C-alpha cells in the first residue's frame, strides 16, 4: 500500500502544474498580444488571423512531439526543451520589425506554439497520472490555470505595451524569459508516478454507473480505428471552433458593439475568467454526472453562446455581447477538460499522453474554421455570417454528441 506522504505529494505536483499552465496559457491572449502589430506595424487582420491558426497547428504538433519526447527523455528534459523553445520564440518576436511578418509566423507560431504545446501535454499527462481517481477535478484545475492566463497576464502585458520604458518589443522579450524560467522550475519539481504507486479507488456515483464499462489501454493505432474516436473528434472540433473564433477577434468584436477600447481589453480578460471557470466547473460536473451528460450540457451551452452573440451583433447590444462572451468562455473552457477526461476514461492511462495529443488535433480543425470565419468577417464587413456558421456547426456537433458510444 502506498504511504500517505507519497500521495500528498501529488497536490504539490498539481499546484506546480497549475502555475506552469498559467504562464503557458499566455499564448491564448492573442487578442491583446496582436495589438501592436496591428496598430504600429499596420499588419492586416487576415495576416494576424493566419498567425493564430498557425499557432494552434504547431501547438497541437508540439503536444504530439511532447508525448514522444517524454517517453525518450523523461519529464524534466522535455520541459526544459519546451522552455527554451518558448523563450526563444517570444524573444525573437520582440526583435522583429514591420518588414518581418514571416518572422512572426516563425517565432510566435512555430517556436512558441510548439514549445507551449510540448509543455501543455507533458504537464497534463504527468499531473493527471497522479489523479486517476479524480480525472475531472485534476483536468479542470490544470485547464483553469491555462484559461485564466489571459486575465492575469493579458492586462499586465497590455499595460507594459503602453509603458515607454518597455514598449511591446521589450515586453515580448521579458515574457519569453519569464515563461522559460517558470517551465524550468516546473521541470525540477514534476515527475511521473512510479508503477508501484497505489491510488485511492475512484468513486462511482449513481448517475455514472450506467456509463461504467471495463476500460482497457488502447494503443493510438487502435484508438484511431475506433469510430467512436472520430465522432468525438469532429464533435469537439466544432464545439472548440466557437471559442477559438471568438478568442481570435474578441477585442474587435466588443469594440464593434460600441465598447471603449479599455473596456474591450478588460472584457477579453473576462472571457478568460469564464474560460477558467468553465474548465473547473466542467471537471466537477464530469466527476459527478459522467461523460455523456457533461458533453451534452457543454454542447448546448455552446449553441446558446453562439446564438446570443449573433443576436448581439445584429442588434448592436453591448450587454448581450458581454453575456455571449461569458457563455462562450464557459463552453470553450469545457472542451479541454472533457477531452482530457474523455481520453483517459475511454482509452486508458497507459497510452494517455499520445492519445490525448492526437485528440487535441481537433484544435487544428477548429483553428482553420476560425480562419474561415475571419475571412467571412473581412468579406462581409460584419460579424453576422461568422456567427451563423458557428451556430450551424454547434448544432451539428450536438447530433454527433448524442451518437458517441463507448469504444
Tens-place pLDDT, residues 282-299: 877 877 777 788 889 999
More confident residue, 377 or 132: 377
Whole-number pLDDT of residue 3: 55
Whole-number pLDDT of residue 116: 94
Q: Where are the domains of the chain?
A: 10-194+218-403
Give the mean pLDDT of 63-78: 88
How high does pLDDT run on average in the chain?
Answer: 86
Question: DSSP string of 305-356?
Answer: HHHHHHHHHHHT-HHHHHHHHHHHHHHHHHHHHHHHHHHHHHH-STTHHHHH
Give the mean pLDDT of 56-74: 88
Taking the C-alpha atoms of residue 365 and residue 238, their distance in angstroms, rounded to an integer, is 8
Q: Which of 401, 347, 400, 375 is nearest to 53 (CA)?
A: 375
| 405 conformational bin, left if phi > 0, alpha if psi -120 to 50, beta if neither | beta
DSSP H helices in 25-44: 30-33, 35-39
Q: Could you tell me the pLDDT band of residue 1, with boundaries at 50, 70 and 90? A: very low
Whole-number pLDDT of residue 74: 86
Packing angle of the helix pair 261-289, 318-347 (nearest 10 deg):
30
Residue 211 has pLDDT above 90, yes or no: no
Whole-number pLDDT of residue 336: 78
Count how many residues are written for the chain.
407
Q: Which of 319, 305, 313, 312 is nearest to 390 (CA)?
A: 305
Taking the C-alpha atoms of residue 235 and residue 334, their distance in angstroms, rounded to an integer, is 13
Residue 236 has pLDDT above 80, yes or no: yes
Q: Which three cell numbers stand for residue 143?
A: 485547464
The residues near 11 (Cβ < 8 Å, ≥ 6 apart) are: none
Q: Classify residue 283 as exposed, middle or buried by CB count within 10 Å of its CB (0-12, 13-18, 19+).
A: buried
Give the mean pLDDT of 134-162: 79
Whole-number pLDDT of residue 180: 96
More confident residue, 164 or 103: 103
Q: Could you tell me the pLDDT band of residue 210, with boundaries at 50, 70 and 90? A: low
First to last CA, the chain: 32
Least confidently predicted of 13-27, 138-152, 171-185, 312-326: 138-152
Question: DSSP string of 117-173?
Answer: HHHHHHHHHHHHTT-TT-HHHHHHHHHHHHHTHIIIIIHHHHHHHH-TTTHHHHHHH
Residue 337 has pLDDT above 50, yes or no: yes
Q: Which of 276, 330, 261, 335 is nearest to 32 (CA)?
A: 261
Whole-number pLDDT of residue 306: 94
Q: pTM of the predicted model, to two decimals?
A: 0.77
Whole-number pLDDT of residue 84: 97
| Residue where the block lists cell 495576416 | 47
Q: Which of 48, 202, 176 is nearest to 115 (CA)?
A: 176
Highest mean pLDDT among 15-19, 135-139, 157-161: 15-19
More confident residue, 199 or 178: 178
Whole-number pLDDT of residue 368: 87
What value does the CA radius of gyration of the chain take, rounded to a whole number of Å?
20
Assigned architecture for domain 10-194+218-403: Up-down Bundle (1.20)
Give the mean pLDDT of 32-48: 88
CA distances from 71 to 111, 115, 191, 195, 340 (A): 21, 17, 12, 14, 19
Q: Which three cell numbers stand for residue 229?
A: 474516436
DSSP H helices in 190-317: 206-209, 220-224, 227-256, 261-289, 291-315
Give the mean pLDDT of 217-234: 89
| Percent of the chain with pLDDT strictly greater than 70 | 94
Highest mean pLDDT among 144-153, 180-189, 325-334: 180-189
Whole-number pLDDT of residue 131: 85
| Residue where the block lists cell 451539428 | 396
Give the mean pLDDT of 328-337: 86
Whole-number pLDDT of residue 5: 66
Amino acid at each position: 500500500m502506498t504511504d500517505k506522504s507519497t500521495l500528498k505529494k501529488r497536490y504539490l505536483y498539481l499546484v506546480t502544474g497549475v502555475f506552469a499552465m498559467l504562464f503557458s496559457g499566455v499564448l491564448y491572449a492573442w487578442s491583446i498580444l496582436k495589438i501592436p502589430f496591428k496598430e504600429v506595424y499596420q499588419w492586416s487582420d487576415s495576416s494576424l488571423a493566419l498567425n493564430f491558426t498557425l499557432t494552434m497547428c504547431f501547438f497541437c504538433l508540439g503536444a504530439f512531439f511532447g508525448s514522444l519526447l517524454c517517453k525518450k527523455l523523461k519529464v524534466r528534459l522535455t520541459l526544459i526543451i519546451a522552455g527554451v523553445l518558448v523563450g526563444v520564440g517570444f524573444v525573437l518576436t520582440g526583435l522583429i520589425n514591420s518588414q518581418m511578418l514571416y518572422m512572426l509566423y516563425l517565432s510566435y507560431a512555430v517556436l512558441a506554439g510548439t514549445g507551449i504545446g510540448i509543455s501543455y501535454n507533458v504537464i497534463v499527462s504527468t499531473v493527471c497520472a497522479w489523479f486517476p481517481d479524480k480525472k475531472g477535478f485534476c483536468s479542470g484545475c490544470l485547464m483553469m490555470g491555462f484559461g485564466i492566463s489571459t486575465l492575469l497576464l493579458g492586462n499586465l502585458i497590455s499595460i507594459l505595451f503602453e509603458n515607454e520604458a518597455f514598449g511591446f518589443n521589450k515586453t515580448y522579450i521579458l515574457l519569453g524569459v519569464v515563461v522559460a524560467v517558470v517551465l524550468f522550475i516546473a521541470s525540477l519539481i514534476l515527475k511521473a508516478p512510479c508503477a508501484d504507486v497505489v491510488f485511492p479507488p475512484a468513486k462511482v456515483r449513481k448517475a455514472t454507473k450506467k456509463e461504467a464499462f471495463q476500460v482497457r489501454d488502447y494503443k493510438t493505432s487502435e484508438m484511431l480505428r475506433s469510430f467512436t474516436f472520430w465522432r468525438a473528434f469532429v464533435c469537439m472540433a466544432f464545439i472548440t471552433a466557437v471559442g477559438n473564433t471568438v478568442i481570435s477577434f474578441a477585442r474587435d468584436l466588443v469594440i464593434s458593439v460600441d465598447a471603449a477600447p479599455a473596456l474591450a481589453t478588460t472584457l477579453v480578460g473576462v472571457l478568460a475568467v469564464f474560460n477558467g471557470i468553465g474548465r473547473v466547473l466542467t471537471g466537477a460536473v464530469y466527476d459527478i454526472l459522467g461523460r455523456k451528460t457533461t458533453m451534452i450540457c457543454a454542447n448546448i451551452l455552446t449553441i446558446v453562446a453562439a446564438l446570443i452573440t449573433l443576436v448581439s451583433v445584429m442588434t448592436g447590444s453591448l450587454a448581450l455581447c458581454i453575456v455571449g462572451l461569458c457563455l462562450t468562455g464557459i463552453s470553450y473552457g469545457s472542451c479541454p477538460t472533457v477531452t482530457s477526461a474523455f481520453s483517459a476514461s475511454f482509452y486508458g492511462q497507459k497510452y494517455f499522453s499520445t492519445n490525448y495529443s492526437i485528440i487535441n488535433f481537433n484544435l487544428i480543425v477548429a483553428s482553420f474554421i476560425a480562419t474561415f470565419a475571419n475571412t467571412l468577417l473581412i468579406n462581409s464587413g460584419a460579424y453576422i455570417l461568422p456567427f451563423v456558421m458557428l451556430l450551424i456547426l454547434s448544432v451539428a456537433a450536438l447530433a454527433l454528441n448524442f451518437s458517441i458510444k463507448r469504444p
